[in-house]
Amino acid sequence: MVNGNGRVAESSRWTGPVISLKDVNKIYRTGEVEVHALRGVSLEVNRGEFVAVMGPSGSGKSTMMNIIGCLDRLTSGTYILDGVDVSTMSKNQLADTRNTKIGFVFQAFNLIPRTTAIANVELPMVYAGVPPAERHDRARKALDNLGLSAKAGSFPNQLSGGQQQRVALARAIASNPAIILADEPTGALDTKTADEIMHIFRQLNDERGITIVLVTHEADIALHAKRLVRFRDGLIQEDRPIGVNDDVMTLHHHQ
């Protein structure tokens, strides 16, 4: 729902799926060439789920993430995010939705180099119009939660890769989003640090009930999630719970 001033209305009481994609198609046109990136994809993600999205390059998983993240528009179909129909929104409304409902975590951290950790965490809340005192308080709490209290005044080049990704995670959770979208969040990290970051994702999901959708190529990273959605040729090939008997081999099996 969008209210009269063009801003997205809050839907905090929404009890349905956080993400609901129905018959979503995405076609890219280059001259006379059409590329069908998504072919009638339907997907629901409920509040508190932790979903790993896998699939080869060109399978449609990144296109789906861009649509879920309000970074791209679908060609046809419906997308309801936290009770709000974003399928036909204007650019400003999509930007507003991104700032209020989605926390992003990327492979490259995407921190602003000459800005302190706490200012980086505050940035999305600046765009969302959160008052200065409140956003500063939220940013400090988010850094505290991720063990970075002492690094609030540090610049990204003074932090390790793992610390930078934790700042990015603090930025993602500070605005209390409906979902966190993580795109290859451990891709630039060594194995030990990647494992530490994934344990933080698990904690955020288990202890705070934050809904997480994570794209990864790595089966050992996907194992931290509770549900696997696998894409191939613009379609969902597999959608199932990740169980205690799953391991790297079972998740690689259908690659």
Task: Specify the pLDDT at position 211.
Answer: 95
- Largest Cα separation within the chain, whole Å, is 55
Domain assignment present for residue 41? The answer is no
Helix/strand number for the chain, H first, E second: 8, 10
Q: Per the domain annotation, does 27 fall within a domain?
A: no
Which structure tokens are listed for 131? 């008052």
Q: How many structural domains does the chain have?
A: 1
Structural domain includes residue 25: no
Provide the angle, in degrees to the nearest 10, between the axes of the packed helices 132-145 and 161-174.
130
Encode pLDDT of 93-113 as tens digits: 998 888 889 999 988 888 999
CA angle 73, 29, 6 (to 5 degrees): 25
Quick one: pLDDT at residue 38? 96
Residue 239 within any structural domain of the chain: yes
Quick one: pLDDT at residue 12?
Answer: 54
User: Which residues does residue 231 pair with via DSSP β-bridges, in sequence order?
Assistant: 236
Which residue positions in the chain have pLDDT lower than 50?
1-11
Residue 22 lies in a domain: no
Q: Helix H segments across the chain?
A: 61-68, 91-101, 117-127, 132-145, 161-174, 191-208, 219-222, 248-252
Distance from C-alpha of 125 to C-alpha of 176, rounded to nearest angstrom: 10
Tens of pLDDT along 159-197? 999 999 899 999 999 988 889 999 998 888 888 889 989
Which domain CATH number covers 197?
3.40.50.300
**Residue 2 has what pLDDT?**
40
Predicted confidence at residue 245, as pLDDT, reads: 81
d(CA 66, CA 74): 9
**Domain of residue 226, residue span:** 47-73+88-252
| CB within 8 Å of 100: residues ≥ 6 apart | 8, 10, 128, 175, 177
In three-state form (DSSP H/G/I as H, E/B as E, the rest C), the secondary structure along 22-44 is: EEEEEEEEECCEEEEEEEEEEEE
Residue 107 resides in a domain:
yes
Q: Are 175 and 208 in contact (CB under 8 A)?
A: no
pLDDT of residue 1: 39
Distances (CA, A) of 238 to 124, 218, 241, 253: 34, 16, 10, 12
What is the structure's pLDDT at 8? 42
Residue 138 lies in a domain: yes
Q: Is residue 114 part of a domain?
A: yes
